[in-house]
Amino acid sequence: MDDLDKAILINFDESGTIDDSLKKQAKTFCEQIKAKPSICSMCIEKLCFSNLIQVQFWCLQTLHEAIVSRYSSMNPQEKQLIRHSVFSIVCLEGVGANNSATRVLEGPPFVKNKLAQVLVTLIYFEYPLIWSSVFLDFFPHLNKGKMVIDMFCRVLNALDDELISLDYPRTPEDISVATRVKDAMREQCVGQIVRAWYEIVSMYRNVDEEVCVGVLESMRRFISWIDIGLVVNDAFGALLFDLVLAAGVGDRLRSAAIKCLTAVVSKRIEPRSKLALLQSLQISRLFRLVVDDANAELVSDIAVLLTGYATELLDCFKRIDSEARGISMELLDEVLPSVFHLMKDSELDATFNVVQFLSSYVATMKSITPLGEKQLLHVGKILELISVLIRYDPEYRSNIDMLDKIGKEEEDRMVDFRKDLFVLLRSVGRVAPGVTHLFIRNLLANVISTSSNSSNVEEVEAALSLLYALGESLTDEAIRDGQGLLSEVVPMLLSTKFSCHPNRLVALMYLETVTRYVKFIQDNTQYIPMVLAAFLDDRGIHHPNINVSRRASYLFLRFVKLLRVKLVPFIETILQSLQDAVAQFTSMNYTTELSRSEDGSHIFEAIGLLIGMEDVPPEKQCDYLSSLLIPLCQQVTFLFRLNIVRFLCPQETT
C-alpha cells in the first residue's frame, strides 16, 4: 500500500476516529496527485493491481473528471489508453494474472456504476465519429456470462441517465449530443441490441432472474425512442406476456416485464398507429391478474399499466375520427372494470393517477348523448369508487374524534385528498344526474338501514359527505323544488339519528348537510319540526362534543335567518329547548377555549331574531324575554352571592 492508497482510505473513512487535520492533509495530497499530467495512466495502473474498493472508486471517479475536464487537450495515445483499458475491464477482455477486470466487476454496485459512467463519458465525446464500434464491440463478449451482461446493462442505463433521459435538466449541447448518439444507434445497432436482449432473457429466464430483470430495466428505458416494432412483435411481445402470465416466474421478473409493457403503451406515436398498437397488444390477457395476484407491488405495477393503457385509449378517442372512435370505446369498456377494481386496492399514488384518468373520462362523456348502457354502468362504478375512497381509515377513528395531533393531521390529509374526488363527483352529477342522485339516495338508505351499527362511522360520514358535495353543484331553485330524489332524500336525512351520531365527524357532517339543503324546507314547511329537532336535540346544540354543539349554534342561526317568519309558531318550543344551553353561559365552568367565532353565543342572536320579529305581539315578546332572562338573572345573582360568601368567609365554604 503506497501513500496514495493510504490518503484515499483516509479520505473515505467515516469512522470518526481520524483527526480532521490528517484528513485535510490526505485530501490535499489526493488533489495534488490529480493535478499530475500522468494521472490517467496512474489510475489505470491502480485499477489493474489494487484490491481496495475505495481506491478503485477513486481512480474511476478521477478518470471521469479528467475526461470531462480535459478531453480536448488529451493526446491520441492517452485517449486510446483510457478507451482500451476501460473497455477491457468492462468486457473482461485481456485479463492477465492480476485478474484486474474480474476484481472490479466483482465489486459493489457503486464501483460498477462508476465504471459504466466513465465509458458513457467516452461515448459522449467519441461516438460515432471516433469510436463508432463501441456498441458492436460489446456483442462478442456477452457470451462470457453474467458479469459482462450486467455491465452491458449498466452502460445502457448510464447512457440513459447521463445523456438521453429528459427526466434530468440538459443543456442545448447535451441535447444535441443525445440526438447524435440516438440517431447513430438507430441506424447502426439498436436492432442488434434488442436481439441481444431477447436472447439473454430467453436463455436466462429459468436460470438467473437477476440478469433478466437487469436486461428488461434497460429495455424499458429505451422503448420510448427506438422503433416500437422491434419490441412489439410475435417474438418479443409474446415473451413479455409469457413472463407476466406464466406460472413459476418470480415477482421481480414479472414486474420488470409489466413495466416494459407500460413503456410500450406510453410511447408517443400518432393516434391511428397508437390505436392499432394498443389493439394488437390484446391487453385483456392480463385482466385475470387483477383478481388473482395478492402481491401488492405487482398489483401496483398492473394498476399503472392498465391505467396508462386506458388513458392512451381515451386520448385516441379524442383525437381520431368517428370510425375508429368506436374501437377506442370498445377497448375502454373492456379495460374499465379492471381499472375500477384496481383503484380500490392500489396505493394512493397509483389511485391518484386513476382519479385523473376518470376525470378525463367523465369530461369526454359530455360529448356522448345519450349515454349508452355501458357508459351508465361505468358511471355507477365511478360513484362507488368515490364512496370507498373518501372514507376515513378506522384506525384513526378515536384520534379524529378527539382531534389530537394525529387526528388533526389525518383529517387535514383527507380534506386535501378528497378535493379531486369531490370535483369528480360533481362532474359525474352533471353528466348523469339521475344515476348520481339514485346512487347517493341508495347509499344513504343503506347506511340508515344499518344505523344501529355503531361501527360504521366511516361509511355514514362518507354517505353524508357525498350528499353534501352533491348540493354544491345544485342551484338554490333545484334544492327548493326538491328536484330529482331530493324530495325523498331530505326527509329521510332529517328523520334519522345514527347510533354513531356521538362521533364528532358524523355529527358535524350531518349538521352541515342539513344546512346545505335547508332551502328545501322553505317550500315544505311540514318538515320544520324535524329540522328543529335535528338542531336542538343531541344531534346538534345538545351534542356531548363541544365542537359540535357550538358549530350547531352557528348553523342554527343561519337556519333562523332563512326561515324567520315561518318559525313563529315554534318559538316557545325553541326557547324551552335552549334554556339549559343559554344557562351554560353563566356557568362557572363555561370555557372559551374554542374559536370566538364559534363560541356558542350565536344562540343569543338567533333568539333575538325570533323574539324581535314584527309578527310576534309585544306582550308575547315580553313573556318570551322574561322566561329567558329571569332564570339567567337568578343564576347570576346566586353566583354573585356565592362568590361574596367565599371571599368573606373562605373557611366556611371549604
How is residue 16 annotated by DSSP? Answer: S
* Per-residue model confidence as pLDDT tens digits over 451-502: 777 778 999 999 999 999 999 888 889 999 888 788 999 999 999 999 888 9
Most confident of 104-108, 318-322, 347-351: 104-108
Q: Looking at the predicted structure, is the pLDDT value of residue 97 above 50?
A: no
Q: In this structure, which amino acid lies at residue 503?
A: N
CA-based nearest residue to 256, from 308, 182, 201: 201
Q: 508 vs 311, 504, 531, 538, CA distance in Å? A: 38, 6, 15, 12
**What is the per-residue pLDDT for 341?**
86
Q: Looking at the predicted structure, is the pLDDT value of residue 621 above 50?
A: yes
Grid coordinates standing for 131? Answer: 469510436
Q: What is the mean pLDDT of residues 114-119?
A: 97
Distance CA 383, CA 431 (A): 12
**What is the per-residue pLDDT for 465?**
96
**What is the per-residue pLDDT for 40?**
94
**What is the per-residue pLDDT for 599?**
65
**Confidence band (pLDDT; 50, 70, 90) for 348?**
very low
**What is the per-residue pLDDT for 321?**
79
Q: What is the mean pLDDT of residues 130-157?
A: 95
Distance CA 174, CA 160 (A): 12
* Residue 304 CA to its chain's centroid (Å): 12
Q: What is the mean pLDDT of residues 598-604?
A: 76
Q: Which of 98-107, 204-213, 239-248, 424-433 has the lowest mean pLDDT?
A: 98-107
Sign of the CA dihedral with 175 first, then 177, 183, and 189 last: negative
**Percent of the chain predicted with pLDDT > 70:** 90
Q: What is the mean pLDDT of residues 188-193?
A: 96
Q: 173 vs 121, 178, 224, 341, 539, CA distance in Å? A: 14, 9, 21, 46, 68
**What is the per-residue pLDDT for 571?**
87
Angle at the Cα of 8 from the Cα atoms of 5 and 13, rounded to 5 degrees: 125
Q: What radius of gyration, in Å, describes the C-alpha atoms of the chain?
A: 37
Q: Looking at the predicted structure, is the pLDDT value of residue 46 above 70?
A: yes
**What is the per-residue pLDDT for 96?**
44
**Regarding predicted confidence, which is higher, 630 or 314?**
314
Listed in sequence order, the residues at least 6 apart from 31 whose beta carbon sits closer than 8 Å to its beta carbon are: none
Q: What is the mean pLDDT of residues 54-72?
A: 95
* Per-residue model confidence as pLDDT tens digits over 386-418: 999 999 999 999 999 998 999 999 999 999 999
How is residue 226 annotated by DSSP? Answer: S
